[in-house]
């Protein structure tokens, strides 16, 4: 499998530590492994490469990697620790099969927000949360051949980030197409048509990127879901599209719904993008957040112009201030000048 470039070990080495060829070799080998290795698993792999490296050196290096933040120590309740590398490896939770001892990685935005909510309510500075679900995997329950394993979690993360972005673009396209049909005047219709066309454009780009990703791992499509985003799975505009079909929705209301959807989408992707370790999935999220911000700004400009046209300049300030109040936490940049 294609491997990402390895980190600069020189840079990671703590100050005052001397260069060690053996250690670099162990670190590089460890970073090439996927999954969760016990110290003895790593010793076996290293010994196959180089008989001269001792068990004690491997153990010491593992400990050093944990301290340096290159490795994470995980406890699956087996009476020994396992290690996984954290380089371009998004944080995650584990499903652990007690029959075959395999573990499966996943991440859920809903679990994360719940943890944040509880920690905030208790004024607790959360640093790390561990979720481990023990049980029996599908293959062990059914006796059917095992599903493909997790594979490279960086690729899985990028795959799922792209799937969520694609679902969001699709729901956005649907939303703007409907809004364009709803709006009677040509200027308003043109704005929504333009946005629908942009979503089509973005969609094509994202789908192209998705296809390129699949080329890096032929089994990527069939590997199990890694990122669970309950609220975002059907696209962040799905709810807005529903609101559009309510009776009495006019251009101003359609713009307000659009603003809410784009803001929600922008914040969702930005918040997640910023939280992740450097990786392709992170890039997807941050780039997408930026595109959503542009749409958001366009909609806000249109909304203000519409208010000016319908009520005249005098009431504009009050109307935009009212629109601003519907936003929970507007970005400073987007706050209307009143």
Residues at the contact surface with Zn ion, assessed by CB under 5 A: 84, 97, 99-100, 105, 137, 140
| Residue 131 or 214 having the CB closest to Zn ion | 131
CA atoms within 13 A of residue 200's CA, in its CB half-sphere:
9
In the complex, least distance from residue 35 CB atom to Zn ion, rounded to whole angstroms:
7
In the complex, least distance from residue 42 CB atom to Zn ion, rounded to whole angstroms:
15
CA distance 61 to 11: 16
CA-based torsion, 269, 274, 277, 279: positive or negative: positive
In the complex, least distance from residue 143 CB atom to Zn ion, rounded to whole angstroms:
11
In the complex, least distance from residue 119 CB atom to Zn ion, rounded to whole angstroms:
22
In the complex, least distance from residue 102 CB atom to Zn ion, rounded to whole angstroms:
5
Q: Using the 8-state DSSP alphabet, how is residue 237 labeled?
A: T
In the complex, least distance from residue 233 CB atom to Zn ion, rounded to whole angstroms:
23
CA-based torsion, 293, 294, 298, 299: positive or negative: negative
CA 265 vs CA 206, 296, 327: distances in Å? 16, 9, 13
CA atoms within 13 A of residue 106's CA, in its CB half-sphere:
17
Q: What are phi and psi of 93, to 5 degrees?
A: -110, 175
| Residue 66 or 140 having the CB closest to Zn ion | 140
CA distance 268 to 276: 13
In the complex, least distance from residue 32 CB atom to Zn ion, rounded to whole angstroms:
16
Q: 238, 156, 167, 155: which is closest to 203 by C-alpha?
A: 167
Q: Is 251 helix (H, G, I), strand (E, B) or coil?
A: helix
| Residue 17 or 132 having the CB closest to Zn ion | 132
Q: What are phi and psi of 85, to 5 degrees?
A: -85, 150
| Residue 84 or 169 having the CB closest to Zn ion | 84
| Residue 98 or 205 having the CB closest to Zn ion | 98
Q: What are phi and psi of 145, to 5 degrees?
A: -60, 145
| Residue 70 or 137 having the CB closest to Zn ion | 137
Question: Contact at 8 Å (CB) between 249 and 243?
Answer: yes
| Residue 84 or 160 having the CB closest to Zn ion | 84
CA distance 267 to 165: 13
């Amino acid at each position: 499998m294609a491997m990402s470039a390895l980190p600069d070990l020189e840079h990671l080495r703590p100050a005052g530590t001397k260069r060690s060829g053996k250690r670099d070799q162990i670190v590089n080998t460890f970073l090439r492994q996927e999954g969760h290795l016990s110290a003895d698993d790593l010793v076996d792999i290293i010994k196959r490469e180089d008989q001269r490296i001792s068990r004690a050196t491997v153990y010491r290096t593992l400990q050093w990697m944990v301290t340096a933040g290159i490795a994470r120590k995980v406890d699956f309740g087996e009476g020994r620790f396992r290690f996984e590398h954290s380089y371009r490896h998004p944080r995650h939770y584990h499903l652990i099969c007690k029959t075959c001892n395999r573990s499966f990685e996943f991440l859920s935005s809903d679990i994360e927000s719940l943890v944040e909510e509880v920690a905030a309510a208790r004024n607790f500075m959360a640093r790390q949360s561990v979720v481990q679900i023990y049980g029996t995997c599908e293959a062990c329950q059914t006796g059917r051949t095992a599903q493909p394993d997790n594979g490279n979690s960086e690729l899985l993360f990028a795959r799922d980030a792209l799937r969520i972005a694609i679902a969001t673009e699709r729901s956005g396209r649907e939303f703007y197409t409907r809004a364009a049909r709803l709006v009677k005047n040509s200027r308003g219709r043109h704005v929504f048509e333009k946005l629908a066309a942009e979503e089509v454009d973005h969609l094509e780009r994202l789908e192209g990127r998705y296809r390129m990703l699949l080329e890096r791992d032929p089994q990527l499509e069939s590997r199990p879901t890694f990122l669970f985003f309950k609220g975002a799975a059907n696209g962040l505009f799905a709810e807005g599209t529903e609101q559009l079909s309510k009776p009495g929705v006019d251009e101003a209301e359609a713009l307000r719904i659009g603003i809410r959807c784009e803001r929600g989408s922008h914040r969702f992707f930005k918040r997640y993008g910023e939280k992740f370790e450097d990786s392709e999935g992170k890039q997807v999220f941050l780039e997408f957040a930026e595109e959503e911000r542009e749409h958001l700004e366009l909609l806000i400009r249109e909304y203000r112009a519409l208010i000016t046209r319908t009520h005249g300049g005098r009431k504009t300030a009050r109307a935009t201030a009212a629109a601003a109040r519907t936003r929970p936490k507007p970005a400073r940049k987007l706050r209307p000048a009143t």
